[in-house]
């Protein structure tokens, strides 16, 4: 009886709100962005459910996570839009936007907007210095307000979209859970509810990455030498369900099995990374030619990856692969190569006239999350270059100092 009364009140509240939001992120669903976590509709601590009575949320999650593919896509700029016209109530900017840490930082860089109908929306984890609006600005529905980032309490670049009605968190997707009356979605066009297995991206690399490095989607390689000591295959995808099994078979050019690895999922994962690798072949023992990895889920083949093994002396490596490079503050550079540098690598800073200003060895630098933090001396405004050399590979990056 009590439950029925509560449900009746929800009907009354919900019926006052019509479908009025647009989707607050640019691009296509399941191509450019993915719905990973919805609002936790179970108010008790320790349990959770989404608006479909399913598990695409986590305990106490108060918004909807529109997750993009990776940091490379974030770097290219993914626009966030105002879901509805209104007035900017608050903004916060200036926070580091490449977080992979789930433990602190709150909303990071964010915008909140007050709307008619006692609605209020929050757009969180935005890219640093990407906010296009100020407190008090009027915004139109669909207006570009900032870029997706990974600032604050975020492990992957995504937009956390939060909606309040009369000061209370609501789920813009409504409620379709059979134990409660149905509340409608607030979206004019509601994104599809998806929980299907799919692959987002994959690739081979010649080192063992950390999970955070996989989040960068390392530049793929398709050719390795027979002296590479590690060949690692990674996959990034959606929706492994409880009880799913996987098996990965590494096959030699003649088709025979070199190594296989399998396991069973005892937890569901909506957004996942996995990797399998072969390592330590004694020099010249890997057969030359085209190798394959066959990937099975619940015994059906879902992916075949292939790579070539060539003799060591035919691999000409000259460019040092770089994940990203940025100026972190006016005198600090962040340099993140694909693979950690060896101890005898050299990092040199040059002026635009080619004069060397300063140089470092990797062990002289602060190193965290596979990023080298280079603190520069005070320099006049202008264009400069960072050159990094490691064995026979090198990379040159330009940057600008402004005062």
- Please give the residue ranges that form the binding site for Zn ion (CB under 5 A): 63, 65, 160
The residue (of 65 and 95) whose beta carbon lies closer to Zn ion is 65
Tokens of 273: 């990374």
Pair of tokens at residue 267: 């937890």
Closest contact distance (angstroms) between CB of 145 and Zn ion is 18
Element (H, E) at 232: strand 230-240
Q: Closer to Zn ion at the Cβ: 39 or 349?
A: 39
Closest distance of CB 170 from Zn ion, Å: 15
- Closer of 23 and 286 to Zn ion (Cβ): 23
40/202 with CB nearer Zn ion: 40
Residue 330, Ramachandran bin (φ over 0: left; ψ between -120 and 50: alpha; else beta): alpha
Between residues 58 and 207, which has the closer beta carbon with respect to Zn ion?
58
The pairing of strands 332-337 and 269-279 is unpaired
Q: Nearest approach, Cβ of 160 to Zn ion (angstroms)?
A: 4
Residue 190 Cα distances to 40, 172, 215, 226, angstroms:
18, 9, 28, 51
Q: Which is nearer to Zn ion, 65 or 156 (CB)?
A: 65
CB of 165 to Zn ion, least distance (A): 18
**What are the b/e assignments for 66-82, b being 16+ CB within 10 Å?**
bbbbbbbbbbeebbbbb
| Shortest Cβ 162–Zn ion spacing (Å) | 8
Helix (H) or strand (E) holding 71: helix 71-76
Q: How would you classify the pairing of strands 158-165 and 64-68?
A: antiparallel
DSSP designation for 355: -
CA distance 360 to 374: 8
Minimum distance from residue 78 beta carbon to Zn ion (Å): 16
Rounded Cα distance between 110 and 252, Å, is 50
Closest chain position to Zn ion (CB): 160
Cβ nearer to Zn ion, comparing 123 with 204: 123
Q: In angstroms, rounded to a whole number, what is the distance separating the alpha carbons of residues 252 and 308?
A: 10
For the bound state, the minimum distance from the C-beta of residue 303 to Zn ion, rounded and expressed in Å, comes to 29
């Amino acid at each position: 009886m009590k439950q029925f009364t509560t449900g009746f009140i929800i009907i009354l509240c919900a019926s006052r709100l019509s479908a009025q939001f647009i989707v607050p992120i640019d691009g296509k669903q399941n191509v450019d962005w993915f719905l990973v976590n919805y609002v936790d509709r179970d108010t008790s601590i320790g349990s959770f459910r989404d608006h479909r009575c399913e598990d695409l949320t986590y305990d106490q999650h108060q918004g909807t996570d529109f997750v993009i593919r990776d940091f490379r896509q974030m770097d290219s700029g993914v626009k966030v839009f105002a879901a509805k016209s209104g007035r900017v109530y608050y903004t916060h900017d200036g926070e580091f936007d490449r977080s992979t840490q789930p433990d602190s930082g709150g909303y990071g860089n964010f915008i909140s907007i007050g709307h008619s109908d006692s609605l209020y929306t929050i757009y969180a984890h935005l890219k640093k210095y990407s906010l296009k609006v100020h407190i008090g600005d009027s915004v139109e529905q669909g207006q570009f307000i900032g870029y997706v980032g990974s600032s604050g309490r975020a492990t992957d670049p995504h937009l956390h979209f939060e909606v309040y009605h009369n000061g209370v968190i609501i789920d813009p997707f409504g409620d379709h859970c059979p134990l409660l009356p149905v509340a409608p979605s607030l979206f004019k066009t509601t994104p599809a509810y998806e929980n299907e297995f799919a692959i987002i991206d994959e690739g081979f690399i010649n080192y063992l990455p950390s999970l955070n490095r996989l989040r960068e989607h390392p530049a793929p390689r398709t050719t390795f030498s027979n002296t590479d000591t590690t060949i690692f295959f990674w996959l990034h995808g959606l929706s492994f369900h409880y009880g799913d099994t996987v098996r990965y078979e590494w096959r030699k050019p003649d088709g025979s099995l070199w190594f296989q690895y399998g396991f069973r999922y005892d937890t569901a994962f909506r957004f996942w990374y996995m990797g399998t690798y072969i390592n330590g072949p004694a020099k010249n023992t890997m057969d030359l030619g085209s190798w394959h990895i066959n990937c099975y889920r619940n015994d059906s083949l879902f992916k075949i990856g292939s790579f070539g093994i060539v003799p060591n002396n035919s691999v000409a490596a000259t460019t040092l692969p770089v994940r990203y490079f940025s100026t972190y503050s006016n005198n600090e550079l962040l340099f993140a190569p694909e693979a950690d540098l060896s101890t005898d690598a050299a990092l040199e800073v040059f002026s635009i006239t080619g004069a060397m200003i300063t140089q470092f060895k990797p062990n002289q630098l602060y190193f965290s999350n596979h990023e080298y933090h280079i603190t520069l001396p005070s320099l006049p405004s202008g264009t400069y270059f960072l050159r990094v050399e490691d064995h026979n590979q090198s990379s040159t990056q330009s940057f600008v100092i402004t005062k």
